[in-house]
């Protein structure tokens, strides 16, 4: 009975495994919607607090951050230190490789091309 679960976990990339910490609040991929947190599809290159249809905290909307590897890495380590007053509750990633893996995964889901 555990075999399919183990095979599924083994097939995941390191970034997908890191994203498991995020899925309670965030979705990523085609046709995703906002949940407790905003969809992370196309987050790389997006201005913080700007995904349409999601109600961000004032702190996030006013942060003037554009998400790239550097800003996301800092935020994932210490959300409140980067955006004081953010509603995101994450104890932070301490391992730089885990952060790189997660960011690589996020980068694999760019914003859909505009028509």
Give 69-103 pLDDT, tens digit per residue.
999 999 999 999 999 999 998 877 899 999 999 99
In this structure, what token pair is assigned to residue 67? 């998400």
pLDDT greater at residue 112 or residue 25: 25
20 burial type by CB count under 10 A (0-12 exposed, 13-18 middle, 19+ buried): exposed
- The pLDDT value recorded for residue 10 is 62
Q: CA–CA separation, 88 vs 63, rounded Å?
A: 14
For the stretch 42-69, pLDDT in tens is 999 999 999 999 999 999 999 999 999 9
Instruction: Please give the pLDDT value at position 84.
Output: 96
């Amino acid at each position: 009975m555990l075999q399919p679960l183990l095979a599924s976990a083994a097939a995941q990339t390191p970034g997908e495994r890191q994203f498991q910490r995020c899925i309670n609040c965030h979705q990523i991929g085609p046709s995703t919607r906002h949940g407790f947190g905003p969809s992370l599809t196309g987050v790389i290159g997006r201005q913080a607090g700007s995904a349409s249809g999601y109600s961000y905290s004032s702190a996030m909307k006013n942060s003037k951050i554009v998400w790239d590897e550097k800003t996301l890495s800092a935020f994932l380590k210490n959300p409140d230190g980067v955006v004081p007053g953010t509603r995101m509750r994450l104890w932070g990633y301490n391992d730089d490789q885990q952060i790189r893996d997660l960011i690589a995964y996020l980068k694999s889901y760019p914003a859909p091309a505009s028509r």
